[in-house]
Chain A
Amino acid sequence: MKAKYIIGGIIIVSFIVWAGISFNKTLTPYVTISEAKTSDTMVQVKGKRVDNGSFDMEQNVFVFNMVDEVGEQIQVVYDGAKPGNFEQATEIVCIGRYTDGKFHAKELLVKCPSKYMEESANL
């Protein structure tokens, strides 16, 4: 065997292993709010907002409450700016981790009724 193939093989195999580990480790599963409360890893939850949220000036975070389909409620603390279309949101997706009785979101995706949907609803 030539050195070239050995080294190439090592690169490929170790990369695939590393990628597999990374994939599993960084995968954020979609869970319900009650599952999120018992999970200790990064997860993704979906729900409707209960209030318009408020900005916590002490900690510089955005805080709001969210409820899912089965009525389970959770307080979400988002380490960033209030999404611009928060008031119009029909659904919110939060990616983060549940600790100390709150869901600490790293990312928020806000879904709004888009113009297209409005138009097709008229059809």
Chain B
Amino acid sequence: MIPGITATALTFVCLIISIVSYYIYYRKNAEEPLRLARYAFYISSGLIFFQAVLLLWGIHTHQFQWQYVFSYSSRDLSPFYLTTTFWGGQEGTFLLWLVLGSIYGLVLIRKKFDNEPLIMSFMILVMAFIVMILVKKNPFVYVWDVNPGRFPAGSVPLDGNGLNPLLQDPWMIIHPPVLFTGYSATMILFAFAMTALVTKNHENWIRQVFPYGVFVVLALGTGIILGGYWAYTTLGWGGYWGWDPVENSSFIPWLSSLAFMHGAIVQRRQGGLKRTNIFLALLTFILVLYGSFLTRSGVLSDFSVHSFSESVLTDYLTAFVVLFAALSLIVFLYGTQKINSTRVSEKFFTRETFMLFGILALLLSSVFTFFGTSAPLITGIFSDEPSNVSIEYYNRLNAPVAILIGLFIALSPVLSWKRENRSNILKYRYHMVAAVLIGIIGFILGLQDPIPLTIFILFVFAISVNGEIVLRLLRARSFDFGGYLSHVGIGFMLIGIITSSSYETNTRTTLPINSPKQVMNYQMKYLGFRTGADGKDEAVIQIAGAGSNTLEASPKFYWSEFNQAFMRNPSVHNLWVKDLYISPIQVIPADQGTNASKLMIKKSETVYFENYLLNFEGYEMNDHSNVANSIEVYALIQFRQDDGNAFMIKPGIRVTGQQQQLLPADLPGTGRAVNIQNIDIDNGTLTLAIDHESSNEKQPGEMLAVEITEKPLINILWLGTIVMIIGVSVSLINRSRFKPF
């Protein structure tokens, strides 16, 4: 019996006991079953925490007999990255989902809601499904059970496969847990919305669920932003956002959770949108499930650079999504039949009308991003060869959405609830004039395309309006400024996105080693490779012309055993008004062909070369090189001059993974380099490349091809993300502590 797997199975049993007891309590309203239901949930939470701790312990103590530990970690990982292994694979992320789910469950039980049996039953239903996934794909299963051909039973592998180096990044310790905190919190929205439908009480739930709605917005939003930092600084796509399915699958539910949060505010103030809000809460949860189906099942493996590969879980995940979508839809149609609907005010210039438009814009963006991401599935229905949309689709769609949202977040706060008060808008005419003036300055500075310019002006307007309200509320010592502050943050983000992506300039060039080259407005000098502090190879480039100091860029370019591929990480330099972003493309080795003589020589053979007599004595190996995991091979060659003077030189080659580095030797007294051109083991021959006698012509040495991008004002985007996160956090604290909704 394996403790981990047993715990997984017991978790499932306890969840079932809990849900059945909640049902009995719901029917009979007796104390006994309620206590049993709660205790069963406590035990299942304890079991889930036990599995999480066990897995962490297993990873840190290298229990390579477990499939998960073997697949995603290795002995050379630091404790820091061993921890990230927890969410390096699918099983771990599902376990993380469960850990968070049980924390939410415990919080909900503590709150003692009247509808606890229903709310908890829906929470448990979702959790039980995830436990079933873990039963199917368990992290504690032994390697020899998965792969008996490779591992005889009972033999513990000495080392694991290791963690994908892309995940060995400081951002990865925080990005996935935060994102999963948001994903699993959508369970709460689902549970509350379903409860509202079953009890046909469509009003009270919105007050109870609101803080959790804000929490989902905060966690998903923060997770997405952290993912953006990671993509920007590590993945080296050249940007923070690439409309990749993996990114979209968190962006789509974030938009719908935003729509839900705003809808809840309208319902509280106005009484309207009862049906819509229930729908949005369910939709957000279903979109999270759909997203995890898209990225884990392998359906998009033909279309994404980094979706998870084909998985045994495809059918299971499909069933998961379809079942919950169908259940939600049926209960929704049934539960909203006799809804006592209240109309949102008919007047046009009211805050609720503009918020409705905002909700509409968010939903349109969410729905059509969804269609774009699902394009391969949709087109797959109509033809045998599914197709995808290009990134252009998302940019075309979201430009009008940005304009609408800019307009609505600028105007909504100006208007009053219920009463139509057009003259309020006029009070802010100076803000509009100021925004247009700033827009004109932007135009003069180069912001001349109509759509980016429109978005820029609207968001400057939105920032000034919302910013003024924030200041006013702060002066009045009110804590209600969170929402307005987050709109200021969104404004800065959009402006930063416009300036840094629409107006980035980039160039590709090759930098010759050790000789400065003028690129854009910088003088760049490539100094060769070195091994970085983290053991990965990096190129060193000296950059002058960026401010007063000389910068040193060190983009990484290294061989990864795990990925069986060369990996590239950009070097990013923040110059206040812009970022300088340097991505390595390719190392072009020194060309010995044109300026060097080639000489083929066999072992123990003696040949003449110019005025030398060469004798190839053999090879010398050095596997204790100071560069990790590499082997150095040196050829021992005796050079004898006419005058009888003899010396030994040792040109070498260093092999790291699939990467080869030449270690030239000097021909004494001449400054000419001797390199190994080729080693042919089958024929026992060695080919040397000996530089020609120094001419005035410069030797074409090693070169580094790089892509250099300038991203103007990207700091405004980073500032915006921080302001937005603070804003949402403030309203979360305000709504859950000081001023319950």
A residues with CB within 8 A of B? 2-4, 7-8, 11-12, 15, 18-19, 22-23, 25-31, 42, 44, 55, 57, 60, 62, 80-88, 93, 95, 106, 109, 111-112, 114-117, 119, 122-123
Measured in the bound complex, the distance between the Cα atoms of B105 and A96 in whole Å is 49
Residues of A within 8 A of B146 (CB): 119
Contact A87 B658, beta carbon cutoff 8 Å: yes
Contact B390 A81, beta carbon cutoff 8 Å: no
Residues of A within 8 A of B305 (CB): 109
Q: Please give 15 more A-B residue pairs, beta carbons under 8 A apart, in addition to A27-B387, A109-B305.
A: A7-B357, A12-B360, A23-B393, A26-B389, A55-B588, A57-B703, A60-B510, A83-B565, A84-B563, A95-B390, A106-B390, A112-B564, A115-B71, A119-B147, A122-B149
21 residue pairs from A and B, CB less than 8 Å apart: A11-B360, A15-B364, A23-B371, A23-B372, A26-B390, A27-B388, A27-B393, A42-B390, A57-B705, A80-B707, A81-B585, A82-B585, A83-B565, A84-B566, A84-B568, A85-B565, A87-B658, A93-B302, A109-B305, A119-B146, A122-B147
Asked whether any CB of chain A lies closer than 8 Å to the CB of B475, the reply is no
10 A-B pairs with least C-beta separation = A85-B565, A84-B565, A84-B566, A30-B385, A26-B393, A60-B508, A81-B585, A122-B149, A22-B396, A29-B387
Least CB distance from B4 to A in Å reads: 20
Measured in the bound complex, the distance between the Cα atoms of B395 and A18 in whole Å is 12
Least CB distance from A82 to B in Å reads: 6
Measured in the bound complex, the distance between the Cα atoms of B303 and A28 in whole Å is 11
Contact A28 B388, beta carbon cutoff 8 Å: yes
Measured in the bound complex, the distance between the Cα atoms of B560 and A83 in whole Å is 13
Main secondary structure of the interface of A (DSSP, over half): mixed
Closest to A22 in B: B396
Asked whether any CB of chain A lies closer than 8 Å to the CB of B346, the reply is yes
Contact B346 A4, beta carbon cutoff 8 Å: yes
Asked whether any CB of chain A lies closer than 8 Å to the CB of B424, the reply is no
Closest to B508 in A: A60
Q: Interface readout for B581-594 with A: 1 if CB under 8 Å, 0 if not?
A: 00111101000000
Residues of B within 8 A of A81 (CB): 568, 583-586, 705, 707
Closest to B352 in A: A4
The listed residue (B71, B309, B364, B585) touching A117 by CB distance below 8 A is B309
Contact B567 A84, beta carbon cutoff 8 Å: yes
Contact A4 B353, beta carbon cutoff 8 Å: yes
Contact A112 B565, beta carbon cutoff 8 Å: yes
Known: A8-B360, A55-B588, A115-B161. A122 touches B508 (CB 8 A): no
Measured in the bound complex, the distance between the Cα atoms of B400 and A18 in whole Å is 10
The listed residue (A22, A80, A114) touching B309 by CB distance below 8 A is A114
Measured in the bound complex, the distance between the Cα atoms of B404 and A22 in whole Å is 18
Residues of B within 8 A of A93 (CB): 302
Asked whether any CB of chain A lies closer than 8 Å to the CB of B310, the reply is yes
Least CB distance from B622 to A in Å reads: 26
Residues of B within 8 A of A11 (CB): 357, 360-361, 364, 404
Contact A27 B348, beta carbon cutoff 8 Å: no
The listed residue (B390, B396, B586) touching A55 by CB distance below 8 A is B586
Contact A60 B149, beta carbon cutoff 8 Å: no
Closest to A14 in B: B400
Residues of A within 8 A of B310 (CB): 116-117
Least CB distance from B303 to A in Å reads: 8
Measured in the bound complex, the distance between the Cα atoms of B393 and A23 in whole Å is 6
Measured in the bound complex, the distance between the Cα atoms of B150 and A29 in whole Å is 41
Contact A85 B588, beta carbon cutoff 8 Å: no
Least CB distance from B465 to A in Å reads: 21
Residues of chain B from 139 to 162 with CB closer than 8 A to chain A in the complex: 146-150, 161
Contact A2 B346, beta carbon cutoff 8 Å: yes
Residues of B within 8 A of A57 (CB): 510, 588, 703, 705
The listed residue (B364, B566, B707) touching A85 by CB distance below 8 A is B566
Asked whether any CB of chain A lies closer than 8 Å to the CB of B392, the reply is yes
Contact A4 B348, beta carbon cutoff 8 Å: yes
Asked whether any CB of chain A lies closer than 8 Å to the CB of B545, the reply is no
Closest to A6 in B: B348
Asked whether any CB of chain A lies closer than 8 Å to the CB of B386, the reply is yes
Known: A28-B388, A44-B387, A57-B588. A3 touches B348 (CB 8 A): yes
Least CB distance from B157 to A in Å reads: 12
Measured in the bound complex, the distance between the Cα atoms of B564 and A4 in whole Å is 58
The listed residue (B301, B392, B565, B658) touching A26 by CB distance below 8 A is B392
Asked whether any CB of chain A lies closer than 8 Å to the CB of B375, the reply is yes
Residues of B within 8 A of A23 (CB): 371-372, 375, 389, 393
Least CB distance from A43 to B in Å reads: 9
Least CB distance from A112 to B in Å reads: 7
Least CB distance from A34 to B in Å reads: 14
Closest to B401 in A: A15
Asked whether any CB of chain A lies closer than 8 Å to the CB of B509, the reply is yes
Residues of B within 8 A of A95 (CB): 388, 390
Measured in the bound complex, the distance between the Cα atoms of B379 and A30 in whole Å is 11
The listed residue (B356, B387, B586) touching A8 by CB distance below 8 A is B356
Closest to B311 in A: A116
The listed residue (A3, A60, A111, A123) touching B585 by CB distance below 8 A is A60
Residues of B within 8 A of A25 (CB): 392-393
Asked whether any CB of chain A lies closer than 8 Å to the CB of B320, the reply is no
Residues of B within 8 A of A15 (CB): 364, 368, 400
